[in-house]
Amino acid sequence: MKAAIFVEPGKMEVKEMPKPKIEKPTDAIIRIVRACVCGSDLWWYRGISKRESGSLVGHEAIGIVEEVGKDVVAIHPGDFVIVPFTHGCGRCVACRAGFDGSCLNPTEGANGGYQGEYLRFEHANWALIKIPGKPEDYTDAQLNNFLTLADVMATGYHSAVSAEVKKGDTVAVIGDGAVGLCGVIGARLLGASRIILLSHHEDRAKLGREFGATDIVSERGDDAVKKIMELTNGVGVDAVQECVGATSAIEQAGKIVRPAAVSGRVGVPQTEPSSNTLFWKNIGLRGGIANVTTYDKNVLLRAVLEAEIDPGKVFTKSFDLDHIQDAYEAMDKREAIKSLIIVSDK
């Protein structure tokens, strides 16, 4: 099979690799239809974090089940599925509580990358999300919507859930990447009446408004804090969704929420904030890895099928697998909000 390989910072290649096989009774082999590049993939692409040269990459996909292990009874060959980056077992205390992103039975690593033609997926019986019908039943736009449910839409929604957004709230979303933009959708799904998106890029701000943002704050740093306090009559927002992870974003979140509010964060933090930053305002802090399977099964798949949300618009450039280098470069240079990779025909 063809699969994308990390060579070194700034360099990706596509190579022929052995097709993955069933190794455990809970496995499934997925033929990938579409995949994509995540903002977190840029960490090792840019050399910010380390990754082994020659390693398979990617963690978001939709595809067709080709084969299943003997313990997989809920999913069958031929099923069209969302392939989440989480592999929740569905049995542990975390999964049963709805936090499959923190599953206590972690996988040992799949023998195949999501940015490739085939993937071995673990904990397939519970973690995979079945989509009605077949890929050919849907438009390209609908397929893109399904693909976001493998990570970015679920992660954006997690930022809103973690911030405890409720009907009528005024919410701020920090970060205008694909996750932050999907966070706007998440805040709208939970009933926020005013959604303030902090965005410094015109194209992203425009899409944020399409998704439901009512206000755009383009200022940076302390000027952004000042603007938000003006918009909220000096009180601060009812909830903040921190979708970056930079130390400055975490600190900014604490400055723009009202006392006793919650900061929901999904950006992997560079450093944890000082407890004193949040202590004096009684601000709550929660969030982490998104609970993809739980959210998709309970809320997000239905919202896509009923055309209530259209998160696939975050894919602003598309590539085939042979042009994986171009897909990464487009993300790295901010030429694409999120790069779509079309791996196979419908």
Segment 259-311, tens digit of pLDDT = 999 999 998 876 776 657 788 899 999 999 999 999 999 999 999 999 999 99
What stretch(es) of the chain map to CATH 3.90.180.10? 2-151+291-342
Q: Which CATH number fits domain 156-287: 3.40.50.300, 3.40.50.720, 1.10.3720.10, 3.90.470.20?
A: 3.40.50.720
2-151+291-342 CATH fold: Quinone Oxidoreductase; Chain A, domain 1 (3.90.180)
pLDDT of residue 278: 83
Q: How far is CA 65 from the centre of its chain?
A: 22
Higher pLDDT, 208 or 109: 208
What stretch(es) of the chain map to CATH 3.40.50.720? 156-287
Mean pLDDT of 26-48: 95
Torsion of CA 102, 108, 114, 115, to 10 degrees: 120
- Encoded tokens for 263: 């900061």
- Residues 141-161 pLDDT 10s: 999 999 999 999 999 999 999
Mean pLDDT of 28-49: 94
Judge contact between 328 and 41, C-beta under 8 A.
Answer: yes
Mean pLDDT of 222-233: 97
Mean pLDDT of 119-133: 97
Return the sign of the alpha-carbon dihedral for residues 154, 160, 164, 169: negative
Question: Does pLDDT of 246 surpass 60?
Answer: yes
pLDDT of residue 112: 56
For 46, phi then psi, to 5°, come to -90, -5
Q: CA-CA distance, 197 to 161, in Å (whole number)?
A: 17
Q: Which of 102-111, 125-134, 140-149 is predicted least confidently?
A: 102-111
DSSP characters over 36-74: E--TTHHHHHTTSS---TT-B----EEEEEEEE-TT--S
Any idea which residue has 């975050």 for tokens?
314
